[in-house]
Structure 1
Amino acid sequence: MTGTAAQALTLLQRGETDAARALIDAACTQGESEALAMRAIWQVEGKLLPRNLPAARTGLLAAAQAGNMAAARMVGGLMAAGIGGPRDWPASLAMLDIWSDRDPIAARQRALIAAMAIDAQGDPLHLPTPEMLADQPLIQTIPGLLTPAECDLLATLSERRLRPALIFHEGQGRFVADPVRHSDAAGFPILSEWPAVHAINRRLAAASGTTVAQGETLQILRYAPGQQYRAHLDAVPGLTNQRHLTLLVYLNDDFTGGQTHFTRLRITMAPRRGDALLFTNCLPDGRPDPSSEHAGLPVLSGTKWLASRWIRQRPPENPDGFGQHEAMR
């Protein structure tokens, strides 16, 4: 980061918020791409400026047209998902086409999307046949839901953003270390749900029989040897819009250990790259189902990569999506 944006960050570090905003506003009137992108990010975050997704989308588009690669990645995702304006899948693909000769990530996404069996709106044309493991709770495997190239992309895009897994502590009002899950995690929130990621999310929704809006932020988890996810329930007591379903996709299988084990059913799923595991978390009345208790067993050797999506009973009432303290449990 250089120029005005770097100066604005320095001002923010000094606590000079008003001066930083004024500096960025002035640079935006001059069409500076980094300033346009920075202001758009502030409008998404809703901290330094009021949250305004339509304005953020407009600003990112302007920044992309001024040559900002990061803005092009972000606005392509907003177009694909219909955030801050109408959903426009063709426009998101056109953005990838424009940038493919300059941005290797855009080129990789475009090639991956070209290989997908999807319709003109990015929805899957067909899905693998699920295999039933249990009726109550419903537990299914979905062989080959993602291709090896798609698995690799998710791992690659998340690698630089991985952090130790956290949970939101309601009493302290902040994120703390997760005492149950020992792994690194990275999510794909709205500015990171780029077109290829969004197309994958639409496939996950179709495979689970839900809408894409019902899903929380897609998370990528990385487990090193000795790390695990101890026995737990995914449903959260007291949620009015419960985590009805969990969908896991194994992104690799070149490790030992790390199986998904349903502790009360004696069902154990051996990871296989690209395969998905879908299961319900709630009883018919919406309460957490104790029989859905499961664990990610310790990894013995190698590194385990997993994609995880919690799916709610219905889309969020808030058009901006599920709150971070809800989605990043």
Structure 2
Amino acid sequence: MTQVNLAQAFELAAAGRPAEALAIVDRGVSAGDPQACYALGLWRLEGAHVPRDLGAARRLVEQAEQGGLMLAARALSAFVAVGTGGEADWPGALGLLHRWVDRDPLAARQLQLIEAMDLDGSGNPRGAFACEPLSDAPCVRRFPGFFSADEAAFLRDVAEARFRPALALDEQAGRFVRHPFRDATAAAFPAVFEWPAIHALNRRIAAASGTEAGQGEPLQVLRYQPGQQYRPHLDAVPGVANQRIWTMLVALNDDYQGGATVFPEASLAFRGRTGDGLLFRNVDEGGRADRTSLHAGTPVEAGVKLIASRWIREHCPPPGEAFGQHEVLSQADEVGQ
């Protein structure tokens, strides 16, 4: 199948003609075209134009990787590390990076980062983290040097081409809308972009918060230009059954002015050094939104603020579901659409 055929399929899908689009992609898959296999794999992952099927998504992406498609290799390493569409296999994910190390600079850089981490055979961090309590009401904890300088630089670099206006998911409508409180830009790393190095960082966040990695929403990198801010808000979401119970923020740079994270109820302001983490609880003992966790990101006065953010839910999503499942195809330049 040629690239022109796939371009036509994407145009038909965007025009509300999914059956015709699927017919073109299916022909490519039958012919063993890696691009077609990858495209259908992402559709299966998100449930776009076809029923959602994570197992089929993983098989299709694996077929594309075996056909030599680099984007598919990156996605497959994420699936294998996380366990999307099959069993999680940390050694297998590392094996994929090694297989592509001479062809994909991203694989090589991830291996360098991972080799510097102290991980067990499943990708979990070994040992404890330095932790400094900052407040009990709300519960706020600082983790100095939570990410290394190299890890922070990696996130800054891979986020650069992915920034888009910050959006919020309307969970009832199942679609994204402009964020009502935040005027930053954001780069998210859902599903196909939770590469092994990012998954290892997510496992570190889970260990620090006493949760499972699967409870976390996709890691985001937020970018605030001068004058941009995150207005006072609660991270707990009204009316949801699976609440955001924790938030972890990690400073990715410190060469800017302003931009502190403030908790008015605790008279607390945080502006960490590069790599410092800030963990805070969003709910009270009864699981209700903790009003004392109201917080804001004050306007940046000079420079650019970059921060990693991960919301952590009370439970992992149901089998066959994933937080951020609606975000994959929104990264259009990454999937060839």
Moved more, 42-51 or 69-78: 42-51
Q: 1:220-241 deviations in whole A, cap 9, x for unaligned? A: 1000001011111111222222
Q: 1:125-154 deviations in whole A, cap 9, x for unaligned? A: 123220011122211100111011111111
Distance 1:122 1:261, change over 3 A: same
1:149 aligns with 2:131: no
Specify the code of the residue in structure 2 equivalent to 1:236: V
How many angstroms does 1:324 deviate by? 5.9
What's the counterpart of residue 269 of structure 1? 270
Superposed, 1:29-178 pairs within 5 Å as 29-169=30-170, 174-178=175-179
How many angstroms does 1:17 deviate by? 2.7
How many angstroms does 1:173 deviate by? 6.5
Are the aligned partners of 1:127 and 1:145 in contact in 2 as well (CA < 8 Å)? no
Are the aligned partners of 1:167 and 1:178 in contact in 2 as well (CA < 8 Å)? yes
What's the counterpart of residue 283 of structure 2? 282
Distance 1:308 1:12, change over 3 A: same
How many angstroms does 1:200 deviate by? 0.6
Q: 1:246-274 deviations in whole A, cap 9, x for unaligned? A: 11101110111111111111111122100
How many angstroms does 1:296 deviate by? 0.7
How many angstroms does 1:174 deviate by? 4.4
Specify the code of the residue in structure 2 equivalent to 1:289: D
**Number of equivalent positions:** 326
How many angstroms does 1:47 deviate by? 1.6
Distance 1:123 1:46, change over 3 A: same
Q: Name the CA distance, whole Å, in 2 between partners of 1:163 and 1:148.
A: 24
Q: Secondary structure at the match of 2:162?
A: coil
Q: Name the CA distance, whole Å, in 1 between partners of 2:160 and 2:324.
A: 23
What's the counterpart of residue 186 of structure 1? 187
Q: Name the CA distance, whole Å, in 1 between partners of 2:27 and 2:89.
A: 31
What's the counterpart of residue 302 of structure 2? 301
Distance 1:4 1:127, change over 3 A: farther
How many angstroms does 1:163 deviate by? 1.1
TM-score in terms of structure 2 length:
0.91
Q: Secondary structure at the match of 2:308?
A: strand
Are the aligned partners of 1:258 and 1:271 in contact in 2 as well (CA < 8 Å)? no
Superposed, 1:190-229 pairs within 5 Å as 190-229=191-230
What's the counterpart of residue 255 of structure 2? 254
Q: Name the CA distance, whole Å, in 2 between partners of 1:200 and 1:171.
A: 30
Q: Secondary structure at the match of 2:193?
A: coil
Q: Secondary structure at the match of 2:194?
A: coil
Moved more, 228-237 or 197-206: 228-237
TM-score in terms of structure 1 length:
0.94
Specify the code of the residue in structure 2 equivalent to 1:150: E
Q: Name the CA distance, whole Å, in 2 between partners of 1:63 and 1:170.
A: 32
Q: Secondary structure at the match of 1:154?
A: helix
Q: Name the CA distance, whole Å, in 1 between partners of 2:157 and 2:68.
A: 24
Q: Name the CA distance, whole Å, in 2 between partners of 1:19 and 1:301.
A: 50
Q: 1:158-179 deviations in whole A, cap 9, x for unaligned? A: 2222111122457877433223
Query: Unaligned regions of 5+ residues in structure 1, if any?
Result: none
Query: Unaligned regions of 5+ residues in structure 2, if any?
Result: 328-337
Moved more, 51-60 or 164-173: 164-173
Q: 1:10-66 deviations in whole A, cap 9, x for unaligned? A: 443554432321222122122111111111111111121111111111111111111
Distance 1:72 1:170, change over 3 A: closer
Are the aligned partners of 2:253 and 2:275 in contact in 1 as well (CA < 8 Å)? yes
Specify the code of the residue in structure 2 equivalent to 1:85: G
Distance 1:92 1:171, change over 3 A: closer
1:28 aligns with 2:37: no
Distance 1:138 1:116, change over 3 A: same
Are the aligned partners of 1:151 and 1:274 in contact in 2 as well (CA < 8 Å)? yes
Q: Secondary structure at the match of 2:51?
A: coil
Percent of pairs with identical residues = 48
